[in-house]
Structure 1
Amino acid sequence: MASYYNYNETSPQVVVQGVAVKHPIHIYDHSHATHGVGAAEVHSQPINDNTGGNWTKGEHQPRRCNDAAFAILFYAHIGVMAWATAAFAPRMAREVAESHGYNQRDLLLEDDSGVTSRVLSWMIHNGSSYFKTVIGHRMLQEDDENDAYSFDATTIGTDDVGDMMMLLGISAGIALIISTLALTFMIRHAQFLIKFALLFNIATVTLFTTGSLFLSPFAAIMGIFLTGMTIWYAYVVWGRIPFAACNLVTATTAVRANLGLSIFAYSNLLLMFGWAAWWMVAFASTIYVTSGCNGQGVCESEGNGIVMFFLFLSFYWTSSVIKNTLHVTVAGVVGTWWFVPTEASSFCSSAVRDSYARSMTTSFGSICMGSLVVAIVETLENTVKNQREESDGLLLCLAQCILACLRDVIEYFNTWAYVFVGLYGYTFLEAGKGVIELFKTRGWTTIITDNLAQSVLSMLSAAVGLLTGLVAMTIAHGQGMVFGNELGASAAAFFIGFIVGTVLTSTLMTLVSSAVNTVIVCYAEAPAEFQTNHPKLSDNMRSTWRQAWPSEFNY
């Protein structure tokens, strides 16, 4: 196997604060034909350090399509969804339109009667009761005469649609500007933000407890318990704030140096919206045909359980693949920034392009494999949840709880496994085994349980959403926009701004979250390289980590 570094036997040892690093210097040779991010020497040997543990540094894997069978399975299922949409959707649209006295031309050229909106509303309601758990009943009105849902298109005028589109565009622009500035603010005031997030959580829970006193004794007891737990958690982790802030600063610095990642992040967001829309059409039309429904919403049978299970599996699997592709891309970019900052220090650096290409090709099968495991559990959880809505019971409640916990555990495992996939190109199972062994051997299993950085990212997303909502509401009043009435103008404008601001900021903060996880793995693997390439950040990292974890960290 080819080495990711050029190893020089004559290279001197690195001395970090008077402690000689046990492994020799490795020089990153990015031009090597088989190189990826962050691999070690050809013949990896167990390495000892002052923690008393032995581990084998990650090693770059040959360029090959890992877990290819799962990639093929994923593309095959996409093909099946495309076939189902092409085969069933035109038939359903035609029959629904004809049952309401319209023809296919009316569907293509919608007039004031809102034919297309009516057809879509029928799809939403009559697809299946399971469909409700995914998309809800927005903009639908119940018709008591035929017990169906209809959409009154005349209630929304062309001016309102234009105003909404303008607010969406303005909100998106504002959110992008504020969220980008938030990265700079985060670097300079990371400790303050973490402390504020902890105190904000305490204040929020306290406010909830105060309100619960007027509701019921049980709610009051639960509120007091939650307040106590929140205060206790803040007390326990307060001493770890400098270390969490340092991780956050390092991750944010890496993301800012490669802000072209945001293009892929926002592209993934659009891809997620597009997939959701496509899946809705495929789901409704497939249920329509397989259940023997007609244009009036009368079906010969209920939806086939197996068909609906696989349709929901498709939704969760594809959504997870889209999300994890970005996570693996970020891991690869941060790894390159860690070892060779000259190749990962521009908006659209080669590291960004190469890492995304690896995620979509050689590592795509590994992404599909891990995502499929999560999707299966999510689908089972959703099935049990819907069963509870029909006939609640203790066993169903217990099953849903177990599945939810299992999903969280698997997602947590996947988060770290995908870091190794992005760094070294391991298969999914090899990556999971490697990262667990690394943290277990070095005694850092407790370090990765901290979620202080994630609290800050969530808080910033909500804050940007609020600011964007207020700006959108101000613009709506200034331009005289009215969505139904004056109260509707304020509520609708704020809602549009808040949702757009929160979603876009959360998308950008997802990059930072993935980068934080990658920083932890890279520092466990290669602190000497970090000291060489980013000495200032390394000095801060070493001092704060030693302060927070004196027994586990001995660099």
Structure 2
Amino acid sequence: MPCRKERDERRSYGGGNQAQQYYQQSQGAGGQKPPPQAPPPQNGAGMEGKFDDVKPKFNDVIFALLFLAQLGAFIAISVISLRALPASEGSVGLGQSGGTATTLNASTAWLLAIISGTALVLSILLLVLVRLFTKIILELCLLLAVAMSIGYAVYMWVERYWSGAIIFTIFAVISILAYPGMRRRIPFSKALLLFVIRVAKFHPSVYVIALIGTTLTAAYSAYWAISVVAIYQKWSPNAEGASTSGGTPSSGAVIGLMVFAVFNLYYTTQFLTNLFLTTEAGIFGAFYYGGRDAKKVAWGAFKRASTYSFGSIAFGSLLVALLDLLRAFFQILQSYESGQGDIIGAAVACVAQCCVGCIAWAVEYLNRYAYIEISLYGKAYIPAAKDTWNLLRDRGITALINDCLVGNIWTFGSYAVGGLSSLFAFVTVKASNPSYIQGNSGLVACITFYAFAIGFFICHSLGYAGLSSGVSTVFVALAHDPEVLAERDPQLFETIRRTYPHVLNPV
């Protein structure tokens, strides 16, 4: 047990007043009155003035309007283009023979939609496994990740997909070398996962919201896939549906619309993921500050995220979407330069792609914790990002983040779901063996890659906005109010205090 001096030091960090204010706000949103057991105000001069303005207000409104405008524009383009899709039914599709061969038709669109549904089912199954086998899931995921990497590499070599075989062999070697070090971090990660699971038992809405968010993401991905095929059929001059009314097909039009469609997919799916992440953070924050007495807070958390914080979420999502689009451009440029035999140009494009990818990863990493600041304390995006940077730098929260393996469950699990989804797509295409696929290994590779990407994204969204968001919320709340965790989970607090004492230092 900690000595009296240590307990007094923890009380001096402050934050109780802000904790009570947040708890009252959460309860007010849920229609409940704060009970007397709410964390009492404590003497913490270091936190005074930090959360004086707890009245919610709309932030970053211009970015909310920008998000709605691009979404409305894509839906309008989709509605116009979908009229051309039935005309493509006469072309060769999956399991059909005869007709004019084409790469994108209605049957292909339905296959892509079915892949999205399969990925959703597999992702839900992974969530069920985490819920049922909490204590062994970390060890199991590490073993499965290594086995999946090795198995997929062997499969690629057997099928003679040489480029994929080399890439997955590298992944397999890395996973084998990293396994011993990752395994030593399991006890700390297990304690965090058990705490988050316990919160989810008091608030089952955690699972419901994660499921709703992932279902919407999967549904939009399926709708997007069908719309992209329709755009190709409507605006490509040589496509079957080019004769339908609503615009003049041209190569420039189809290229421009495809670029916009890719941007829309990045932006919209990022926004949906972050919207439900922010909602989940509100639920976990209510438990952190209000304990078991915090009830019916899911609706209040969602209402704040979808109204007052809508623009802030759209702001952060836009930054990542633009970086992802730029990275995709350099990837295409690299492929083009390689096809032209320009080694120097391909190398420059590859370096640029890596640089943009690193920047995108850093922004997305910072955004994750900025959204939690937005959810818990109602900040606009830029102040939340600044405060997040200060927390990561001054409190040393990165040590906890780096040593926590809970997020790896969803990373490894997402690779598994992506691999199974791509295997499903590959087997389906090979079994149906349509004529326009025969001899076109590039198209088979594109469909298989799409299946892997959408499976990975859907599964990662489910875990990212679900249980992993609870762990991230604990890290942010701990940085502000470490003494509250001592009340909620003394054992977890002691583990952190002994292993990461610098995290409890005042900012």
Does structure 2 conserve the Cα–Cα contact (< 8 Å) formed by 1:141 and 1:151? no
Question: Residues of 1 paired with 2:498 and 2:13: CA distance?
Answer: 24
Question: Residues of 1 paired with 2:453 and 2:351: CA distance?
Answer: 33
Inter-CA distance 402–541: structure 2 relative to 1 (3 Å threshold): same
The residue number in structure 1 matching 2:58 is: 65
Q: 1:526 aligns with which of 460, 481, 490?
A: 481
Amino acid in the other structure paired with 2:196: A
The residue number in structure 1 matching 2:20 is: 28
Q: How many angstroms does 1:213 deviate by?
A: 12
Question: Residues of 1 paired with 2:200 and 2:129: CA distance?
Answer: 13
Matches within 5 A, 1:85-484: 85-90=78-83, 92-93=84-85, 97=87, 117-118=89-90, 139=94, 146-149=100-103, 179-180=127-128, 182-186=130-134, 189=135, 192-198=136-142, 201=145, 230=175, 233-236=178-181, 238-286=183-231, 292=237, 295=240, 300-303=250-253, 305-344=255-294, 349-392=295-338, 393-459=346-412
Q: How many angstroms does 1:231 deviate by?
A: 6.1
The residue number in structure 1 matching 2:438 is: none
Inter-CA distance 509–66: structure 2 relative to 1 (3 Å threshold): same
Question: Residues of 2 paired with 1:146 and 1:334: CA distance?
Answer: 55
Amino acid in the other structure paired with 2:491: N
Question: Residues of 1 paired with 2:307 and 2:44: CA distance?
Answer: 26
Deviations 1:288-329 (A, max 9, x none): 555555637696535454443222211211111111111101
Amino acid in the other structure paired with 1:387: L
Question: Residues of 1 paired with 2:470 and 2:182: CA distance?
Answer: 21
Amino acid in the other structure paired with 1:407: A
Inter-CA distance 118–265: structure 2 relative to 1 (3 Å threshold): farther
Moved more, 264-273 or 289-298: 289-298
Inter-CA distance 72–548: structure 2 relative to 1 (3 Å threshold): same
Inter-CA distance 396–253: structure 2 relative to 1 (3 Å threshold): same
Does structure 1 conserve the Cα–Cα contact (< 8 Å) formed by 2:366 and 2:388? no
Amino acid in the other structure paired with 2:192: N
Higher percent of residues as helix:
2
Does structure 1 conserve the Cα–Cα contact (< 8 Å) formed by 2:395 and 2:505? no
SS at match of 1:148: coil
Amino acid in the other structure paired with 1:295: E
Q: How many angstroms does 1:369 deviate by?
A: 0.6
Does structure 2 conserve the Cα–Cα contact (< 8 Å) formed by 1:335 and 1:423? yes
Q: Which has the higher contact order (CA 8 A, sep 6+)?
A: 2
Question: Residues of 1 paired with 2:299 and 2:393: CA distance?
Answer: 33
Q: How many angstroms does 1:517 deviate by?
A: 0.8
Aligned pairs, number: 444
Question: Residues of 1 paired with 2:324 and 2:164: CA distance?
Answer: 30
Q: How many angstroms does 1:284 deviate by?
A: 4.4
Does structure 2 conserve the Cα–Cα contact (< 8 Å) formed by 1:39 and 1:60? no
The residue number in structure 2 matching 1:509 is: 463
Does structure 2 conserve the Cα–Cα contact (< 8 Å) formed by 1:15 and 1:21? no
Does structure 1 conserve the Cα–Cα contact (< 8 Å) formed by 2:281 and 2:473? yes
Moved more, 35-44 or 302-311: 35-44
Does structure 1 conserve the Cα–Cα contact (< 8 Å) formed by 2:105 and 2:229? no
Q: How many angstroms does 1:514 deviate by?
A: 1.0
Does structure 1 conserve the Cα–Cα contact (< 8 Å) formed by 2:29 and 2:297? no
- TM-score, with structure 2 as normaliser: 0.70
Q: How many angstroms does 1:243 deviate by?
A: 2.2
The residue number in structure 2 matching 1:159 is: none
The residue number in structure 2 matching 1:131 is: none
Question: Residues of 1 paired with 2:250 and 2:164: CA distance?
Answer: 46
Does structure 2 conserve the Cα–Cα contact (< 8 Å) formed by 1:44 and 1:57? no
CA RMSD of aligned residues (A): 4.9
Question: Residues of 2 paired with 1:223 and 1:484: CA distance?
Answer: 27
Q: How many angstroms does 1:543 deviate by?
A: 2.4
Q: How many angstroms does 1:399 deviate by?
A: 2.0
SS at match of 1:362: coil
Inter-CA distance 454–56: structure 2 relative to 1 (3 Å threshold): farther
Question: Residues of 1 paired with 2:218 and 2:178: CA distance?
Answer: 37
Does structure 2 conserve the Cα–Cα contact (< 8 Å) formed by 1:36 and 1:424? no
Q: How many angstroms does 1:251 deviate by?
A: 1.8
Q: How many angstroms does 1:422 deviate by?
A: 1.2
Question: Residues of 1 paired with 2:364 and 2:89: CA distance?
Answer: 37
Q: How many angstroms does 1:18 deviate by?
A: 6.2
Inter-CA distance 258–84: structure 2 relative to 1 (3 Å threshold): same
Amino-acid identity (%) = 22
Q: 2:497 aligns with which of 535, 546, 555?
A: 546
Question: Residues of 2 paired with 1:44 and 1:19: CA distance?
Answer: 11
- TM-score, with structure 1 as normaliser: 0.65
Mind listing any 5+ residue stretches in structure 1 that lack a counterpart?
1-13, 48-54, 98-115, 123-138, 157-163, 473-482, 486-497
